[in-house]
Amino acid sequence: IPLLCRALAMSKRPLLLFASPWTAPAWMKSNGDVRGKGTLKGHAGDKYHKTWANYFIKFLDEYAKRNVTFWAVTAQNEPLAGLFTPPQAPTIAFTAAQQRDFIAQDLGPALARSPHRTQLLMLDDQRIHLPHWAKVVLGNATAARYVAGLAVHWYLDAIVPPGCSLEATHKLFPDHFLLYTEACTGFFMF
């Protein structure tokens, strides 16, 4: 928080911050651990999903008390990577349908009821999942009304051309923006 406050004070323009969760607390996960392959216990609309959505609001509340506001949050960082990560990595696995239901029943309504004007981004994973992920989530009118845009990572861009992923998704859902949110060079040693 002190570093964010310094950056905000130094910037000549407003900084648009976004946050993306890695994992819920262990007691909320199917594997009982913040690390490894696990989902949120139960199903959308239940106490675990509502509580996890409220964690987002509490996070935003606590940062706002320190004059740090967030332009956006993502529903989950790399939701499908949760199925493939090493056992020590903190994560929650979501399918597109699980993320859709969490957004429609829990996270979207919680953000809408909150005093925060924070936007919601979906996916936050490789573009290899597009346009399928967008069709599942944004194809649902309830979920779509809570989602401002799609967060995309570029680690596997060499595998999936932009035309069949980004362009196809934009054509299907032109009112939802696409934003690259995570990448690095040297991911593949070759």
Residues, the chain, total? Answer: 190
Contact 151, 179 (CB under 8 A): yes
Contact 92, 23 (CB under 8 A): yes
Among the listed residues 33, 157, 167, 182, the single catalytic one is 182
Cα 129 to Cα 92, 125, 132: the distances in Å are 17, 8, 6
Q: Is 182 one of the catalytic residues?
A: yes
Among the listed residues 48, 78, 107, 146, the single catalytic one is 78
Residue with tokens 């035309």: 163
Backbone dihedral angles phi then psi of residue 114, each to the nearest 5 degrees: -75, 165
Rounded to whole angstroms, the Cα distance separating 61 from 42 reads: 26
Q: Is the dihedral of CA 85, 86, 91, 92 positive or negative?
A: positive
Q: Is 78 one of the catalytic residues?
A: yes
**Which residues are part of the catalytic machinery?**
78, 182
